[in-house]
Every structure is written in structure tokens, then in C-alpha cells.
Amino acid sequence: MNIKASTKIYGIFGHPVGHSLSPVMHNSAFKALHLDSVYVAFDIQPRDLESAARAIKPLGIAGVNITIPHKESMTFFLDKISPEATLTGAVNTVKNENGKLLGYNTDVGGFLRAIKEDLGLHPNGLKVALLGAGGASRAVLSALCMNESSRIYVMNRTYDKAKRLVSEFKKSFKDFSIEAVSLEDKTGVENALSISDLLVNATSAGMEGIDPIEIPLESLSKESMVYDLVYKPRETSLIQRAKELGLKASGGLSMLLYQGAESFEIWTGEIAPVEVMKKVIE
């Protein structure tokens, strides 16, 4: 890689971020299209996010991805955010355009394309059990609501956070059936799973170094499917358990790919070399 004074710098803000495949994915895309650009990882503690966000403009960083745990907090430091990011209240992509920081949420489109490609699913009419109430969950919930899923259960350890998220989305989607469920409520969790077509893990649980969430997958029907946004390890314990039960399941590598391709196109204006990006992360 030939770094020059003219090289554009892109990166990812997150904590932890050492597991991220985004650098190798985007750098392979830059190389394939002969773009004078480089992508690096920035491990940003929550207490340092504001300083890092304020540094994007003076350092001339061209764009950044935002990952756990900064997707919601980053919105406070941007000049403008897209409709999808406004709805989700979270951003995962920032473009520095002539000194203005523009925020996007490509997780929405990335999730939709991932469940279509991996599981053959379209959200229309789906009944979904969604684990988590953070930034990634908001993107998944936005994708489901905007595409008319029929019923969504937001399941979270902190019940009040799930209730606040549900209440917020009901203001925009008044006719939707969205319900908060505490993960401490065993009966509520089992009931939600029993009627769900799809279980989505939108938490960091199961990521390398982080304990998985214990969830009674036996409550799912035999036709139900599982999608885990975590992509490292490639098969989390949740995915492994689902497959042992004979359920169709997929990890988050495909969502990483498709949201990354959309981010790449926002930054560069070029069509992302998806096959190149896919090959290198696989």
C-alpha cells in the first residue's frame, strides 16, 4: 500500500474495534478500483467520542464508519443526518463533505439485503423477535417497520430501555404491533419466540470475548429462522444452537458486507466491488 500526502483517510470508530473486518474489506475495494485511499481502525472509548468526532474535520478524515457503542451518541456531533438515520436515531456512516459531517445509516439497507440473500426473507408480514434496544436494534427495527412486518417483539435485559424504544417507534408507526419484552420474563420471551418467524440478535452478545445471551430457542417453530448481527466468530453460539435444532440461521458477515458496500458508495461515488469485498472478508 502506497501512502502519499494526497491519500484520503477513512476509518471506523468503535470500542472494542480490534475484531473489525471493515479495514480489510474497504482497503481491498480501494485497491480494486485504484483509489488513493486508506481505511484504518480507531479504538475510541465512550468518554473520548466527542473529541474524536470533533477531530474529523481538522484532520481532514474523509469518512468514518461508526460501530458499537457509538451509533446513537455520534448523532449529536453531525451537521446533517439522512432520513433513515433520523428515524433510527443512530448512524453508522459519516461523510466529511466540504467540512460538513453528514450522517447515514446503511445498516438498514444492509440488514434487508442480508436476510434476503442468506435466508430468502422479505420483511413484509414477518413476525420478529428482536434482541437488543441499542443502535443496531434501531436500524433493524426501522427496516422492519418501513417494510411492513406484522409484529415485532423488542426483547432486552433493561426493560425500560426496550419500552422507550417501542414507544418512540410507535409514534412514527402508529398502526404497527410493536411490544417490549423483558428478557427476565421467561414466559413472555417464550411466547414471543413461539409466534416469531425470525429471531434477530442485534446485541454484541456472543462476540469474541462477550458472553452470549441465553435464549430458549426451543420455543421457536421449526420453520423459524435466526439472524445474528455478530460476525466474529463467524458462527456464534446462537447460530450453532439454532442449526443444531434444525433451524435455518446466518451470521452477520453478509450484513457487514452490504452495509459496507453502501458506505463505500456514499463516500466515493463509485459502485462498490462487492465480490472483491466479499471474497476478502470470507
Q: Give the whole-angstrom CA distance, residue 282 versus residue 278.
A: 6
H helix or E strand, kind and range, residue 178: strand 177-182
Is beta strand 63-66 parallel, antiparallel or unpaired with respect to 93-97?
antiparallel
- In the chain, where does DSSP find H-type helix? 22-32, 49-59, 83-88, 107-119, 135-146, 159-172, 186-194, 237-244, 253-268, 274-281
Task: Write the DSSP string, 46-64.
Answer: GGGHHHHHHHHHHHT--EE
Q: Which is it for strands 8-14 and 63-66: parallel, antiparallel or unpaired?
A: parallel
C-alpha–C-alpha distance, residues 163 and 67, integer Å: 23
List residues with catalytic annotation: 71
Cell 414507544: give the residue.
167
Cα separation, 176 vs 25, in Å, equals 37
Q: Any residues with CB less than 8 A from the CB of 29 and at least 6 apart, and which? A: 35, 264, 272, 273, 276, 277
Q: Which amino acid is at 150?
A: S
CA-to-CA separations, 204 to 96, 207, 211, 229, in angstroms, rounded = 28, 6, 9, 8
User: CA-to-CA distance for 121 and 235, rounded, in angstroms?
Assistant: 20
> Which of 32, 19, 10, 31 shows the shortest CA–CA distance to 252?
19
